[in-house]
Amino acid sequence: MRYLLWRVAVFVAICIPPAIWLNRAWALDLGPDPGKALVDLFGLGTLVLLLITLAMTPLQRITGWAGWVHVRRQLGLWCFTYASLHMLGYGFFILGFDWAQLGVELVKRPYIIVGSLAFLGLLTLAVTSNRYSQRRLGARWKKLHRLAYLILGLGLLHMLWIVRADLKEWAIYAGVGMLLLLLRVPVIARRIPRRVYRKPAAATKV
């Protein structure tokens, strides 16, 4: 497998934040409402991972290094994993697994509806992320996976409705997201200087 070390490094790096969070929750270091804190952390983590995932293609174009896209699928799946834990935490800590209440929330709260749609989107992409689906869907696969842009929009809207008094943090994420989407507009994408990555000259002559 190419870039094995790089892939493993990314894998490990993404395992670290949840390990730290869980440890802090365990050590009563997340305050008196650790459940809510975990839900928030995983929610924010999902957004950050989505932004990182969407940054891989532009990064490859700009730097010419192919390693970026080799971790793209892994990052997307991680994003889905964080989102799942975010949902699980919400169900357990906030709803107390009260299914009737979940029904009410799903009907009445726009931010829950938007968040759930985003999760369904991530689920769809996660399920179709394997080679088999790629082969089966053919050209449609790429179209389907453009859903990621819509999911980003839904996620940002979901967060905007939760922010109550200070938009600074949200504005930063929204700005990065906007930039990443702009880099995909064909007119702009064409202007990005493409650099071809060359391997350092080998020491021995062939």
Partner 1 sequence: MLIKIPFASACKESDVTPESIYLSRRAVLGASLAGFAVSALPSWAQAADPSRYADVEAGKAPGWFSDKLTSTKWQAVTVQNEAITPFKDATHYNNFYEFGTDKGDPAQNAGSLKTEPWTVVIDGEVAKPGRYALEDFMKPYQLEERIYRLRCVEAWSMVIPWMGFPIAALLKQVEPTAKAKYIRFETLQDPKTMPGQRSGFALIDWPYVEGLRLDEAMNPLAILAVGMYGRELPNQNGAPLRLVVPWKYGFKSVKSIVRISLVSEQPKTTWQSIAANEYGFYANVNPTVDHPRWTQARERRLPSGLFSPNIRPTEMFNGYGEQVASLYTGMDLRKDY
**CA distances, 173 to each of 110, 141, 160, 166, 170 (Å):** 20, 27, 10, 13, 5
Nearer to partner 1, 68 or 119 (CB): 119
Q: Judged by CB, which is closer to partner 1: 11, or 26? A: 26
3-state class of 163 per DSSP? coil
Residue position matching structure tokens 């391997």: 199
* CA-CA-CA-CA dihedral for 58, 61, 63, 66, to nearest 10: 100
If one asks whether residue 24 binds partner 1 (CB under 8 A), the answer comes out as no
- The only residue of 2, 135, 143, 168 in contact with partner 1, by rule CB under 8 A: 168
- Judged by CB under 8 A, the stretch of 64-72, 105-113, 119-127, 174-182 that binds partner 1 is 105-113
55 near partner 1, rule: CB under 8 A = no
Which one-letter amino acid corresponds to residue 131?
R
Q: Does 26 bind partner 1 (CB under 8 A)?
A: yes
32 scored as a contact of partner 1 (CB under 8 A): yes
Q: Judged by CB under 8 A, which stretch of 29-37, 62-70, 122-130, 139-147 contacts partner 1?
A: 29-37
Between the two ends of the chain, the Cα-to-Cα distance in Å is 25
Binding of residue 188 to partner 1 (CB under 8 A):
no
Sign of CA dihedral 203, 69, 138, 83: positive
Q: Does 101 bind partner 1 (CB under 8 A)?
A: yes
Nearer of residues 48 and 112 to partner 1, judged by Cβ: 112
Task: Please answer whether residues 148 and 141 qualify as being in contact, where contact means their C-beta atoms are separated by less than 8 angstroms.
Answer: no
Whole-number minimum distance, CB 76 to partner 1, in Å? 29
Per-residue DSSP letter, 90: I
Does the protein bind partner 1 through residue 105 (CB under 8 A)? yes
DSSP category for residue 31:
-
Can residue 100 be called a binding residue for partner 1 (CB under 8 A)? no
Residue with tokens 């507009």: 185
Q: Which residues bind partner 1 (CB under 8 A)?
A: 25-26, 31-36, 38, 92-94, 96, 101, 104-105, 108-112, 161-162, 164-168, 171
